[in-house]
C-alpha cells in the first residue's frame, strides 16, 4: 500500500499543478482555434489534430506488425539461434534512446525512402520505436493462454492457424491491448522522433494526407515553453494539461474495453 501511494502521489501532484496553473486557459476556443500572435495567444487545434494523425498512423503500422511478430515467436518459432537473435534484437530495440530512433527515421524514411519530413515518416519512426512494447505484451498474453486449449482444438482437427484465430487470439486480446495502451502513451508524448521527421514548428494549414507535415502537441509544448518569448504563464501548462488529458482518455477507454473483454472469458 505504501509503494502504491508513493507511485500515485507524484501523478496526483502533477495533475493538480497543471490544473491549478493551466486550467484557466482551457476552453472551446483554446481547443479549436489556431495559434496567433507568434504562438503567444490563440489555441492548439493544429497541434491537437496533428497528434491524432501521428498516433493513429503509428498504431496502424505497429500493431499489425507487432502482433504478427509475437504470433511467430510464440506459436510457430522453435528455440533456435534465429529466434534468439530476434529476441535479442527486440530487447536492444527497446533500449535505444528516442533521439537515435529520430536519426534513424531521418536516414531511413525521410532520405532513403524519400517520404520527406511528413506524417508518414514520423509515424513510421514512432512505430519502430514502440514495436517492442507491442511484441512483448502480445507474446506474454499469447503464452498465458493455457496450452490445453490448443491441444483440444488440434484433437478436433483444427489447423494451427484456425486454433490461433478462433481460440488463442480471442483469449489473448485483452493482454494485447496492454501493449497498445503503452504505445499510445509513449507515441503521444514523444518529441525527438517527430521533431526531425515530420513535426513542424508552426503551420498555417492542417495536414490533408500522410505526406504533409504537421504540428504536434509534444513539440508545441516544447516550443511555447522554451523557444517563444512573452508567452503567458498559463499557456504551457494548458498545453501540457490537454496532452495528459488525451493520454488519460485514450488509456481509460482502452482499459475499459480490456476489462469488458476479460469479463467475457470462460476461464
pLDDT at position 181 is: 83
Is the model's pLDDT at 262 over the cut of 80?
no
Which is more confident, 44 or 184?
A: 44
* DSSP assignment string, 14-30: HHHHHHHHHGGG-SHHH
Give the Cα separation of 239 and 246 in Å (integer): 11
Q: What grid cell was written down for 201?
A: 514548428
Q: What is the pLDDT of residues 153-172, one digit of tens each?
A: 888 888 888 999 888 888 88
Do 172 and 262 touch, CB atoms closer than 8 A? no
In the predicted model, what is the mean pLDDT of the chain?
Answer: 89
The rounded percent of the chain whose pLDDT value lies above 90 is: 45
pLDDT at position 20 is: 93
Q: What grid cell was written down for 264?
A: 467475457
pLDDT at position 265 is: 64
* DSSP assignment string, 154-170: HHTT--HHHHIIIIIHH
Q: With respect to CATH, is domain 44-263 assigned 2.60.40.10?
A: no
Give the Cα separation of 137 and 144 in Å (integer): 11
End-to-end Cα, the chain, rounded Å? 29
Do strands 41-42 and 35-36 pair parallel, antiparallel, or not at all (unpaired)? antiparallel
pLDDT at position 127 is: 93
Give the Cα separation of 250 and 247 in Å (integer): 5
Give the Cα separation of 144 and 7 in Å (integer): 27
Q: Is 204 exposed, middle or buried (0-12, 13-18, 19+ CB in 10 A)?
A: exposed
Is the model's pLDDT at 212 over the cut of 90?
yes
Q: What is the pLDDT of residues 91-130, one digit of tens each?
A: 888 888 899 999 999 999 999 999 999 999 999 999 999 9
What sign results for the dihedral spanned by CA atoms 151, 153, 155, 160? Answer: negative
pLDDT at position 267 is: 59
This prediction has a pTM of: 0.89
- Using alpha carbons only, give the angle 136, 217, 5 rounded to the nearest 5 degrees: 55
Q: What is the pLDDT of residues 213-230, one digit of tens each?
A: 999 999 999 999 988 888
Give the Cα separation of 75 and 72 in Å (integer): 6
Q: What is the pLDDT of residues 62-89, one digit of tens each?
A: 999 999 999 999 888 888 888 889 888 8
pLDDT at position 210 is: 93
Q: Is 42 in a helix, a strand, or coil?
A: strand
Q: Is 1 exposed, middle or buried (0-12, 13-18, 19+ CB in 10 A)?
A: exposed
Is the model's pLDDT at 258 over the cut of 70?
yes
Is the model's pLDDT at 184 over the cut of 70?
yes
pLDDT band of residue 256 (cuts 50, 70, 90) is confident
Amino acid at each position: 500500500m505504501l509503494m502504491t501511494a508513493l507511485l500515485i502521489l507524484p501523478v496526483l501532484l502533477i495533475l493538480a499543478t497543471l490544473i491549478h496553473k493551466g486550467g484557466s486557459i482551457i476552453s472551446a476556443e483554446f481547443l479549436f482555434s489556431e495559434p496567433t500572435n507568434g504562438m503567444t495567444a490563440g489555441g492548439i487545434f493544429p497541434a491537437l489534430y496533428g497528434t491524432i494523425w501521428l498516433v493513429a498512423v503509428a498504431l496502424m503500422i505497429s500493431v499489425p506488425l507487432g502482433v504478427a511478430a509475437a504470433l511467430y515467436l510464440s506459436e510457430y518459432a522453435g528455440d533456435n539461434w534465429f529466434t534468439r537473435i530476434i529476441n535479442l534484437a527486440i530487447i536492444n530495440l527497446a533500449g535505444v534512446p528516442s533521439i537515435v530512433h529520430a536519426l534513424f527515421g531521418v536516414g531511413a524514411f525521410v532520405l532513403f525512402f524519400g517520404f520527406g519530413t511528413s506524417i508518414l515518416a514520423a509515424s513510421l519512426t514512432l512505430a519502430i520505436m514502440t514495436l517492442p512494447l507491442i511484441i512483448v505484451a502480445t507474446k506474454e498474453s499469447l503464452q498465458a493462454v493455457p496450452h490445453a486449449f490448443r491441444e483440444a482444438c488440434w484433437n478436433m482437427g483444427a489447423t494451427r492457424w484456425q486454433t490461433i484465430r478462433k481460440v488463442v487470439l480471442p483469449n489473448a486480446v485483452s493482454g494485447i491491448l496492454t501493449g497498445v495502451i503503452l504505445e499510445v502513451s509513449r507515441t503521444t508524448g514523444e518529441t525527438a522522433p517527430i521533431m526531425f521527421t515530420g513535426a513542424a514548428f508552426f503551420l498555417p494549414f492542417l495536414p490533408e494526407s500522410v505526406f504533409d507535415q504537421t504540428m504536434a502537441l509534444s513539440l508545441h509544448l516544447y516550443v511555447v515553453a522554451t523557444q517563444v518569448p512573452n508567452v503567458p504563464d498559463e499557456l504551457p501548462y494548458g498545453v501540457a494539461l490537454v496532452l495528459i488529458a488525451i493520454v488519460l482518455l485514450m488509456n481509460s477507454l482502452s482499459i475499459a474495453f480490456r476489462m469488458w473483454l476479460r469479463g467475457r472469458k470462460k476461464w
